[in-house]
Amino acid sequence: AADEDDSRFKAERFQNAIAIFANNDVKYDSNKLRAKEYGVRSGQQITYVAAKDTPSNHTLEERPDVVLQKREWLKRHDRECGDLYGMLPLIKGMPVMLTDHVDRNPEKMLLRGRIGYIVSWDLAKDESSAAQGPRRILDKLPRAVFVQFYEEVKGELVVPKWRVGTLAPGVYPIVPIRSE
């Protein structure tokens, strides 16, 4: 390939291919571009969820100067920040990968590296954001993002039998977590 505009990269086999990058900044930039392209290809709006870096009351009690240390937080490596890179794009049907172990139940085995597909998300009750053209930036974290997982059986992807509550088989609610 001569450059990134080589038409072969637009072939279907590359559209959802797993990519490996040497640096996180390139990975994050590529993921943003791939999400945008996925939204265009699927004719859907991109809903962005912004990471919220807010110290808890417990942290403020222990370290009252923590707000002044925010510049230092921003210099931290992504491994110290739960692999977040600021904005999470949400598009129905878009493939996503778990960055941590979510459910070790032998029936589910939702472990780091497992691929799923976004089904929907449940907005916060007081969400007030609105679409701005082809995108929407949420003011609040969604209560959950629902992801469809599949199992491979004899080389075929099939819907698993497990369920979470009344959700469809293989759909798992990914909920925001707080860390100190």
pTM of model > 0.85: no
Express each pLDDT in 111-152 by its tens digit.
Answer: 998 999 999 999 999 999 998 888 898 988 899 999 999 998
Separation of alpha carbons 60 and 173, rounded Å: 30
Pick the closest to residue 171 from 114, 123, 118 (CA basis): 118
pLDDT at 52 (0 to 100): 66
Instruction: Kindly indicate the confidence band of residue 93, based on its pLDDT and cuts at 50, 70 and 90.
Output: very high
The length of the chain, given as a count of residues = 180
Q: What is the mean pLDDT of the chain?
A: 82
